[in-house]
Structure 1
Amino acid sequence: MPIAELNGQGIFFEDSGGSGRPVILSHGFLMDSRMFDPQVAALAPEFRVIRWDSRGFGRTRWDGKPFSLYDLAADCMALLDHLGIDKAVVGGMSQGGYCALRIALRYPERVKALVLMSTRGTNDDEQTKAGYLQSAQVWASVGPEPIVQALSGPILGEPSLLPTWLDRWRQLPAANFMAAVRNLTDRDDITGRLKEIRCPTIVFHGLEDVGVPPSDGEFLHKTLPGSVRFVPVPHATHAANLSHPEVVNPPLLEFLRAYA
């Protein structure tokens, strides 16, 4: 199992290898790197696709300490260093997109282009933060099932995805869930800095996304100076790249061929 010891964590990653131009992908909240299976199938071997599990999720060995999006950004850059990659296309979905945007701000010289999926630059309002924290308390006191059921539709949407992913969610310890929630609720608002990100960017967003409305994706597209395309994904909820790869992959390939 590919584990890189980086920043005190055992970061699980998968690397499609080859001589193609590198693309590194960061997953969303409650997900893991396997959510990019459809993209790896479409992009490799033309592109070298690296994906990894962030702290608290998947097969990464997390040290149990609180972490921020900037910690995840540092993990991603350390993984590129570990693989000997100086510059890559950086992509992410939801939480992974929050991470990708902060990579573009903190390490602009490492970012060839950005791929943003179902994400935004703002932080959450107080009501949303309270809902996240309440869900973590329920997970710890009652167990994961009420939250798993509540989030399955808004995140995944596609019924065929539910058995596999819900089983994975049920195995997540309450401490991991709480730390990941804090990572989201404590994030900074980077709206005022978006114009600093000038690399080529493509933005994808499910039109049925209720967690991060499509208007947030449109705002990113209109605000980021280098954004070349906004791709709405009809009938998709939050994990649009997983539920509707037939819509996401063709424009993603076109973008990478032009800007990677």
Structure 2
Amino acid sequence: MPIAELNGQGIYFEGSGGSGRPIILGHDFLMDGRMFDLQVEALAPEFRVIRWDARALGRTRWDGKPFTLWDSASDCIALLDHLGIDEAVVGGMSLGGYCALRAALRFPDRVKALVLMSTRGTSDDDDAKDIYMDLARIWSAYGPIEPVVHILADPFLGDPRYYAPWLDRWRLLPASNYLAATRSLVERDDISHRLREIACPAIVFHGTEDTGIPASDGEELHYSLPGSVGFVPVPGASHAANLTHPELIHPPLIEFLRSFA
């Protein structure tokens, strides 16, 4: 199993190999690198695709200590170091996008470009934070009971056809992991005032039916990034548009990845 010992964690990762331009992808809350299976199929071998599992989620061995999204950004860059990659396109979906933006702010010389999906630079409002924390407390007290699992499934995946195998994986997530991942999500700082510092090329994708993060937030992110070349709305898609509507994401994504030297 590919594990890199980085920053006190055992970071699980997978790479497509090859000598093409590297792109490293970070997944959403409660998900893992397998959510990018379709992107690997579409991009490799022209591009070297790396995906990794964040602390407390997926197959990464987390040390059990609290962490922030800035820590996750450091994990992402440390994985590039581990793989001998000086510069990469950094991508992320929702939570992974929060991480990618922080990587671009903290390590601008390592981030060639950004691919951002269903994400934003702002923090959540108090009502959203309360909902996330209430669900985490229920999970901590009772485990992954079915009402909680299904409350999460619809806004994340949008269509029951895509629930499996994710719901089965969620049911195995320990309460301590769920709580730590939730805290890293809801306690993130608002970096919207710093987005103008990010000069690299970027592209922003967003499902038009996303109820977790409205598409208007993705459009605002596009206009806030000086190097963003486009906002790509994905008609009919909810939050995880890369899972449900890959045929609408891959052509502009590939065009973007080919567009800069």
Superimposed CA distance per residue, residues 207-227 of structure 1 (whole angstroms, 9 cap, x where no aligned partner): 110111101100011111000
Count of residue correspondences:
260
CA distance in 1, matches of 2:90, 2:71: 16
What CA RMSD, in Å, does the superposition of the two structures yield over aligned residues? 0.8
| Aligned residue type for 2:170 | W
1:20 aligns with 2:20: yes
Aligned match of 1:173: 174
Q: For 1:16-165, what aligned pairs fall within 5 Å after superposition?
A: 16-144=16-144, 145-165=146-166
Superimposed CA distance per residue, residues 2-21 of structure 1 (whole angstroms, 9 cap, x where no aligned partner): 00000110000001011101
Superimposed CA distance per residue, residues 93-114 of structure 1 (whole angstroms, 9 cap, x where no aligned partner): 0000000000010000001000
5+ residue gaps in structure 2?
none
Which 4+ runs in 1 deviate beyond 6 A? none
CA distance in 1, matches of 2:114, 2:67: 23
Aligned match of 2:202: 201
How far the C-alpha of 1:128 sits from its partner, in A, is 1.0
CA distance in 2, matches of 1:170, 1:231: 33
CA distance in 2, matches of 1:22, 1:56: 25
Superimposed CA distance per residue, residues 181-226 of structure 1 (whole angstroms, 9 cap, x where no aligned partner): 1001111100110111111000000011011110110001111100
CA distance in 1, matches of 2:195, 2:251: 26
CA distance in 2, matches of 1:143, 1:13: 27
CA distance in 2, matches of 1:222, 1:78: 29
Aligned match of 2:248: 247
Give the TM-score, by structure 2 length: 0.98
5+ residue gaps in structure 1?
none
Task: Work out the percentage of aligned pairs sharing the same amino acid.
Answer: 70
Secondary structure of 1:90 counterpart:
strand
CA distance in 2, matches of 1:17, 1:153: 34
CA distance in 1, matches of 2:165, 2:231: 30
**Worse-superposed segment, 223-232 or 144-153:** 144-153
Secondary structure of 2:112 counterpart:
strand
How far the C-alpha of 1:146 sits from its partner, in A, is 2.0
Superimposed CA distance per residue, residues 104-144 of structure 1 (whole angstroms, 9 cap, x where no aligned partner): 10000001000000000000111111111100011111221
Aligned match of 1:222: 223
How far the C-alpha of 1:23 sits from its partner, in A, is 0.3
Give the TM-score, by structure 1 length: 0.98
